[in-house]
């Protein structure tokens, strides 16, 4: 059937081709300088496996004309164009987050933006092995890239399907349970405390409730062994600046680290240097717990201390005072409650 004049054409090319049907459209006229004749300027809309597919593509183009060169742009090209502008406007930490999210998109890089469907995006999410915060950043990246593609007429608005990507059902299969240490896990650490001196640090964290960063930054000048307490001078919140009791169970560990060497910090590396968090976590925390077949993050020691204190029926006000919580304290608790070190010691020694 002959197509209407000006509608475009769908013709089959010779040879053995995967997509033998070429779709073209007249895009103006020009004069041949040699012959003086007027000739058609044609644009190629695409190549298709069947005449029916070509006719459909031509109908879609006529209903909503687009830049045929723009539709050839790949996911990677959109990312490069978008990031070139975006990265000049955001912080370095944001840039790192976007770059980390983009690393998950290797299966999309060489795809044309116009060909990317919801199933492609969802497949990246479902097979990423990442947790919700990472996937949320990935979805933000996609949202901005697809919006850029719409604004620059690389895709049509109806092709922006990012909002339908489901990240709630996905999860990290290696996710560590964010829960307190169990009694059996704590006992396993006690049973192996002589295995490595850094095993004692885990128990110091559990029986004090301090953040690992607070313990790593603790200086010996703020440790009062004679009175069994230490002073946290730098914390995430104002309530975090506090006096922390040293439990009888872990006193010998504090004493050991205090007298170990001349480092100004209580804890130190094997060569007597100040600990960086990454060094401690990668070189000691992870290997030691792996040895015991236990999966926890350092922050779980803080939850463990709170749980043990609560189980021992310690007043909530006292628990907040020990661990440095203020979010749930009432004005009366903050202003009129006066707990001295001995009261805190009595509480911590109940666990």
Same domain, 193 and 335: yes
- Cite the DSSP H helix spans in the chain: 51-63, 75-86, 92-102, 118-126, 132-151, 183-191, 199-206, 212-216, 251-260, 277-280, 286-291, 300-311, 316-323, 331-336, 341-348
**Which segments of the chain have a pLDDT < 50?**
327-339
pTM greater than 0.75: no
Contact 208, 251 (CB under 8 A): no
Contact 220, 203 (CB under 8 A): no
User: What are 303's two structure tokens?
Assistant: 């939850």
Same domain, 29 and 109: no
Collect all residues with Cβ–Cβ distance below 8 Å to 210 and sequence separation of at least 6.
Answer: 218, 232, 244, 302, 323, 324
CA gap 262, 215 in Å, rounded: 17
Same domain, 341 and 235: yes
What pLDDT sits at residue 330?
Answer: 45
Same domain, 86 and 214: no
Q: pLDDT of 335-344, one tens digit each?
A: 333 447 888 9
Same domain, 104 and 85: yes
Same domain, 233 and 338: yes
What pLDDT sits at residue 336?
Answer: 34
User: Per DSSP, what are the bridge partners of residue 195?
Assistant: none
- The count of structural domains within the chain is 3
In a domain, 247, yes or no: yes
In a domain, 218, yes or no: yes
Same domain, 119 and 37: no
Contact 223, 256 (CB under 8 A): no
Range of the domain at 119: 75-164
């Amino acid at each position: 059937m002959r197509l209407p004049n000006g509608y475009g054409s769908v013709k089959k090319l010779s040879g053995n081709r995967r997509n033998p049907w070429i779709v073209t459209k007249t895009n103006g006229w020009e004069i041949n300088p040699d012959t003086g004749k007027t000739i058609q300027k044609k644009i190629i809309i695409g190549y298709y496996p069947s005449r029916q597919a070509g006719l459909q593509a031509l109908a879609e183009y006529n209903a909503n004309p687009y830049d045929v060169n723009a539709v050839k742009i790949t996911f990677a090209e959109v990312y490069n164009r978008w990031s070139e502008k975006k990265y000049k406007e955001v912080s370095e930490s944001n840039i790192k987050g976007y770059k980390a999210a983009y690393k998950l998109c290797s299966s999309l890089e060489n795809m044309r933006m116009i060909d990317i469907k919801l199933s492609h995006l969802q497949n990246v999410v479902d097979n990423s092995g990442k947790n919700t915060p990472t996937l949320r950043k990935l979805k933000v990246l996609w949202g901005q890239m697809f919006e850029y593609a719409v604004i620059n007429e690389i895709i049509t608005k109806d092709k922006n399907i990012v909002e339908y990507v489901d990240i709630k059902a996905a999860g990290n299969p290696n996710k560590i349970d964010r829960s307190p240490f169990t009694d059996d896990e704590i006992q396993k650490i006690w049973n192996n405390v002589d295995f490595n001196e850094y095993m004692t640090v885990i128990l110091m964290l559990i029986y004090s409730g301090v953040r690992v960063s607070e313990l790593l930054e603790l200086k010996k000048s703020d440790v009062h062994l004679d009175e069994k307490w230490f002073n946290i001078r730098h914390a995430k919140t104002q309530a975090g600046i506090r006096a922390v009791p040293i439990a009888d169970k872990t006193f010998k560990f504090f004493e050991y680290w205090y007298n170990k060497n001349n480092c100004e910090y209580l804890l130190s590396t094997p060569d007597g240097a100040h600990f960086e968090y990454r060094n401690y976590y990668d070189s000691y925390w992870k290997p030691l717990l792996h040895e015991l077949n236990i999966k926890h993050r350092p922050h779980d020691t803080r939850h463990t201390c709170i749980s043990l204190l609560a189980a021992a029926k310690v007043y909530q006000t006292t628990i907040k005072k020990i661990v440095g919580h203020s979010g749930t304290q009432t004005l009366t608790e903050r202003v009129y409650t006066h707990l001295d070190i001995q009261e805190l010691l009595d509480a911590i020694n109940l666990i």
